[in-house]
Every structure is written in structure tokens, then in C-alpha cells.
A and B are shown apart, each in its own frame.
Chain A
Amino acid sequence: DGGITQSPKYLFRKEGQNVTLSCEQNLNHDAMYWYRQDPGQGLRLIYYSQIVNDFQKGDIAEGYSVSREKQESFPLTVTSAQKNPTAFYLCASNQGTEAFFGQGTRLTVV
């Protein structure tokens, strides 16, 4: 099946630790995106990549980092510099028109 796969579904992190969220797509899309959703709110853009080996900051990039070494993969690292990382993280991809989303990762800092 074609689609976007995010893993893990749930992630617990201790304060001060870095964690990496996985996003893989087999849709052959060039562009990929990471969004953050806080309870009761809409989605906000963290980072996006339009092509392999290139990525740009979104509206709330501080405390996050990404890489884009392969078209199908766009991992997001939540660093210890992110002050309030507990949130729902969604990955998306598109090929110039309609965007499609993965099922999300719920990150909780304990």
C-alpha cells in the first residue's frame, strides 16, 4: 500500500534527552513536512523539505532538527533545547497539490 508511515506511535522521553521520530513515505513525493499539534489547537509547521538534501525552517523550528538524505525519509529530532516538547507530531508529503498525512507520533516528556 502507498502511504506515509510514522513511528513510533507513542514515545516517552526523559527531560534532557534527544529523541528522533521517523517518517517514511512510498508515494514518490518530493516534498515532506513536519507539523506539531498541541491539545485543542491546529497544526503548526516545524520544518519542510522540497527535495533531497534540502530543508527549510517552518514557523516553530527552534529546538528541532531534521535531515533529508533519501526521498522517502524525513526524520525529526526533538532536542533537549525544545522547552515544551510534549505534543502530537504529524508528518506529511505532497507532490505539488494535495498533501497526505501519517498517523502521528504522541511524544510525552516524563
Chain B
Amino acid sequence: GIQVEQSPPDLILQEGANSTLRCNFSDSVNNLQWFHQNPWGQLINLFYIPSGTKQNGRLSATTVATERYSLLYISSSQTTDSGVYFCAVGPIKAAGNKLTFGGGTRVLVKP
């Protein structure tokens, strides 16, 4: 099956810093989503971005499907940005629009 690798696995930031999270995947996809998992375990939808670039406030994401990677940018980080960020992809070859998750990037923003 498709492999999804996220980097870095852990990230410690000072409040106000910018950062880039990366997601590499091993096959063609027609679905790519970024999620933020809060301390209570809830998965918050950040972006649905199988290709192109999107922005939402301090967050933006870019997916280059032909090169099989996606980037999530966090600008002017805040303590509330702490948590785990997951990339999940839906392979074109897979039935059922199933998502395969990466291992996540654990972000800690210090005040």
C-alpha cells in the first residue's frame, strides 16, 4: 500500500516563530488532507488539498502532486498551535476513498 512519511517527527517552537511541516507519499493520490489533533484527541480539519495552494489565516498548505509531497506552513505560531499534525492521503488506486495517515508531527509552541 501507499507509504506516507511526515517530517520532522517532533518540533519545538518559540511563540511567534514560523515553521514548515512536510508530508511525502509514495503513489498518486486524489485526496490529501491536513489535520490538527488537539490534546483531547479530536481531529480538526485544516485543509483538503489534493493539489495547489490554500491559505487559512496563519496556516497555509501546498501540495505538489506530481512530485508526491505536501507542505504545511505555520506562521507566527501561538501556544494554541501545539498538538499533533497529521497528513492523510487517498490513493487513486484505492477503492472507497480511504485515507492512509502518516505518523504525525508533534508540535510544541512555548510561550
Contact = CB atoms under 8 A, between A and B. Distances in A.
Contacts of A104: 41-42
Given A98-B48, A103-B42, A42 B104 contact: yes
Contacts, number: 58
A58 interface: yes
A2 interface: no
Contacts of A35: 101
B33 interface: yes
Give the secondary structure class of A's interface. strand
A5 interface: no
Nearest to A33: B98
B13 interface: no
A56 B96 contact: yes
Interface of A: 31, 33, 35, 37, 41-45, 48, 50, 56, 58-59, 88, 90, 92, 94, 96-101, 103-104, 106
